[in-house]
Amino acid sequence: MTHRIERRPLGAGTPGTRREVMLHRFGEPGARPKAYFQAAIHADEIPALLAAHHLVRRLMAAEAEGAIRGEIVVAPFANPIGLDQQVNATHLGRHELGGGGNFNRNWPDLFPATAEKVADKLTDLEAANVVAIRAALAEVVAEMRPRTQLDFLRQTLAGEAVDADLVFDMHCDDDALMHLFLVPQHWPLTADIAAELGCHAVMLCEDSGGGSFDEAFSTPWIKLARQYPDHPIPAACLAITVEFRSQRDVNDRLAEADGAALFRSLQRHGVIDGDPGPLPEALCAATPLDACEFVKAPAPGVLSYEVELGERIEKDQVIAWLIDPAAEDPNAGRQAIRAGTDGLVLSRRDRLYVQPGDTLAKVVGREPLTAPKEKNLLGD
Q: Contact positions toward Zn ion, by CB under 5 A?
A: 42, 45, 171
Name the minimum Å distance from CB 139 to Zn ion: 29
Smallest gap from Cβ 344 to Zn ion, in A, equals: 20
What percent of the chain is helix, strand and coil (3-state, nearest 5)? 30, 25, 45
Residue among 305, 284, 187 at smallest CA distance from 238: 187
Q: CB of 21: closest distance to Zn ion in angstroms?
A: 17
**42 or 69, CB closer to Zn ion?**
42
Measured from the Cβ of residue 200, the count of other Cβ atoms closer than 10 Å reads 21
CB of 180 to Zn ion, least distance (A): 13
- Listing DSSP states for 195-251 in one string gives HHHT-SEEEE-S--SS--HHHHHHHHHHHHHHH-TTS------EEEEEEEEETT---
**What's the closest the beta carbon of residue 202 comes to Zn ion, in angstroms?**
16
- CA dihedral angle for residue 197, residue 203, residue 207, residue 212, rounded to 10 degrees: -40
Local structure of residue 373 (DSSP, 8 states) = P
Q: Is 347 helix (H, G, I), strand (E, B) or coil?
A: strand
Name which of 179 and 231 has its Cβ closer to Zn ion.
179
- Residue 45 or 163 having the CB closest to Zn ion: 45
47, with CB counted inside 10 A (0-12, 13-18, 19+), is buried
Nearer to Zn ion (CB atom), residue 24 or residue 94: 94
157 or 313: CB nearest Zn ion: 157
Query: Rounded to the nearest whole angstrom, what is the least distance from the CB of residue 182 to Zn ion in the complex?
Result: 15
Q: How far apart are CA 289 and CA 180, in angstroms?
A: 10
45 or 290, CB closer to Zn ion?
45
